[in-house]
Amino acid sequence: MHKDELLELHEQMLSIRNYFVRQERVDSSLFDPYDGLDVSPSHVHKSKSEHKHAVFVLGNALANAMSEDEFSDAGRVGKRMKELAEDAESKL
């Protein structure tokens, strides 16, 4: 995936995150790990690796926001996103 495509994906996922944060039944603290990264789609000067890591961290949070438990489809996606985020972080 090219960096511009990754930035577009990051932007779309951030829009979904903002939707979830507006929903009162979703715990906004789920997104604290993403918020702590200080990498947003507008930060085009950040590396592709930093954006990739942010996308996986955000994907994990989104999947957790949608999951009923760790064995649901979204729960399994969240677990995989966490693994991918850890792998991407090790490559920063």
- The larger pLDDT score, comparing residue 81 to residue 75, is at 81
Question: Would you kindly state where each structural domain of the chain is located, as residue ranges?
Answer: 3-90
pLDDT confidence band for 71 (50 / 70 / 90): low
Please give the pLDDT value at position 92.
Answer: 82
Structure tokens at 87: 């792998």
For residues 8 and 50, what is the distance between their CA atoms, to the nearest angstrom?
Answer: 14
pLDDT at 69: 62
pLDDT higher than threshold 80 for residue 24: no
* Nearest residue to 31 via CA among 51, 22, 77: 22
CATH 1.20.1270.110 applies to domain 3-90: yes
DSSP 8-state assignment for residue 28 = G
How many residues does this entry show for the chain?
92
Q: Which residues contact 52 (CB under 8 A, 6 or more apart)?
A: 6, 88
Q: Which residue has the higher pLDDT, 18 or 72?
A: 18
Rounded Cα–Cα distance for residues 53 and 88 (Å): 5
